[in-house]
């Protein structure tokens, strides 16, 4: 590429043309290299995974190094404060259930907060479901409050009315705010996901002190960003016995870096908080699910949901199913594929929880 014989003697416009064209070529080369490197995932999978399907015990031992690397990827903030010092405040009550805000010590002045609800009928202790809200939402929305679009279908309240106790954790909900705290976490070699997963685990610690909550029968169910937290937390928290991932499970390689009008690509959305260092080194969604295996898992995927192009989400899910099939427990993984969009499917979710909790 020659724009001039001597830059010192060239016309200013010709120099600027050279700057622009070289930058354009460099950007496209960089995009091509990084995309091809990222999409060369199968080679990395062979390098990083050594699964043993001979038994459930052997399988769990074989993926333990990957589980440790997943914790390192999201960031381990270490043990919480020794004393929880719970503060309990009223939230909602009717003839079917009572729900309260609970605030716990976590790290220093940082608190873990959630709405915890208990049925008024039935026999305690109650199987318990962590009902996790999504981006821009709150625990209130899991109860059907401030849910004008009716995407949540009051799933936390429905769980309570069905006989489950509920933990509905509060996380940071604004994309801009999450990006700010993600940058602060990255400076420490950690992520905001790791910090908020620590909150969820602290709430489980507290639930173990409540005699009316049966944490031996504990599930997690989250929508959208709450689906992210369900997918991210369940591999690290073995006390979670079954998981429902709503409106998040995806063909992760394409979702993160391949622009396509059929779904939203994170590379182009500006959601900075979603980029976990090391995520696509070895942890596509099928492989994160392999860290949930052999525990039961369901994905609720709407064909009309713009977060994914559903045939590719199905392709990824079928790859995740293979781990369960090879262990002889294929009945523990289920895809709830439906004609709707970005929403909770209460009836199928409750049926799944009833089977496994």
User: Which of these, 80, 87, 163, 79, lies nearest to 121 by C-alpha position?
Assistant: 163
Query: What string of DSSP letters covers 161-185?
Result: HHT-EEEEE-----HHHHHHHHHHH
pLDDT at 289: 98
**Contact yes or no for 258/265 (Cβ under 8 A):** yes
Closest CA to 325 of 354, 289, 353: 289
Strands 165-169 and 126-132, how do they pair? parallel
Residues with pLDDT less than 70, the chain: 1
Token representation of residue 173:
């909900």
- Please name which of 177, 206, 195, 203 lies closest in space to residue 110, comparing C-alpha atoms: 195
Residue 164, by phi and psi: left (phi above 0), alpha (psi -120 to 50) or beta? beta
CA 71 – CA 197 distance, rounded (Å)? 10
Q: Residue 254's pLDDT is what?
A: 96
Residue 4, pLDDT score:
84
Global model pTM greater than 0.75:
yes
The answer to whether 240 and 220 are in contact (CB under 8 A) is: yes
The tokens for 119 are: 């049925």
Q: What is the CA radius of gyration of the chain?
A: 23
Close Cβ partners of 148 (under 8 Å, ≥ 6 residues apart): none
pLDDT of res. 1: 61
The pair of three-digit structure tokens given for residue 14, joined into one six-digit string? 């010709």
CA angle 195, 197, 202 (to 5 degrees): 100
d(CA 99, CA 303): 34
Say what the pLDDT of residue 2 is.
Answer: 75
Q: What is the pLDDT of residue 263?
A: 96
């Amino acid at each position: 590429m020659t724009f001039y014989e001597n830059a010192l003697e060239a016309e200013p416009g010709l120099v600027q043309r050279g700057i622009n064209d070289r930058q354009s070529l460099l950007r496209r080369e960089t995009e091509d290299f990084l995309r091809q490197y990222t999409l060369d995932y199968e080679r990395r999978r062979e390098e990083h995974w050594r699964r043993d399907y001979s038994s459930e015990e052997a399988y769990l031992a074989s993926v333990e190094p990957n589980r440790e690397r997943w914790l390192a990827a999201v960031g381990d903030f270490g043990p919480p404060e020794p004393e929880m010092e719970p503060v309990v405040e009223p939230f909602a009550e009717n003839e079917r259930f009572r729900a309260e805000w609970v605030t716990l010590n976590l790290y220093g002045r940082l608190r873990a907060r959630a709405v915890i609800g208990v049925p008024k009928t039935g026999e305690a202790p109650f199987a318990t479901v962590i009902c996790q809200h999504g981006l821009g939402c709150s625990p209130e929305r899991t109860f059907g409050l401030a849910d004008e679009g009716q995407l949540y279908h009051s799933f936390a309240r429905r769980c309570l009315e069905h006989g489950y106790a509920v933990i509905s954790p509060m996380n940071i909900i604004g994309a801009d705010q999450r990006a700010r705290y993600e940058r602060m976490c990255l400076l420490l070699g950690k992520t905001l996901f790791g910090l908020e997963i620590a909150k969820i685990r602290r709430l489980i610690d507290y639930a173990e002190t409540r005699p009316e909550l049966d944490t031996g029968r504990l599930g997690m169910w989250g929508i959208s960003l709450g689906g992210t937290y369900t997918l991210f937390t369940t591999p690290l928290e073995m006390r979670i016995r079954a998981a429902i991932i709503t409106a998040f499970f995806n063909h992760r390689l394409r979702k993160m870096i391949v622009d396509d009008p059929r779904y939203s690509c994170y590379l182009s959305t500006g959601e900075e908080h979603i980029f976990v260092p090391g995520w696509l080194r070895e942890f596509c969604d099928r492989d994160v699910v392999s860290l949930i295996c052999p525990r039961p898992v369901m994905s609720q995927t709407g064909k009309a949901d713009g977060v994914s192009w559903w045939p590719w989400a199905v392709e990824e899910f079928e790859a995740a199913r293979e781990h369960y099939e090879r262990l002889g427990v294929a009945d523990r993984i289920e895809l709830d594929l439906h004609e709707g969009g970005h929403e909770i499917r209460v009836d199928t979710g409750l049926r799944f929880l009833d089977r496994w909790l």
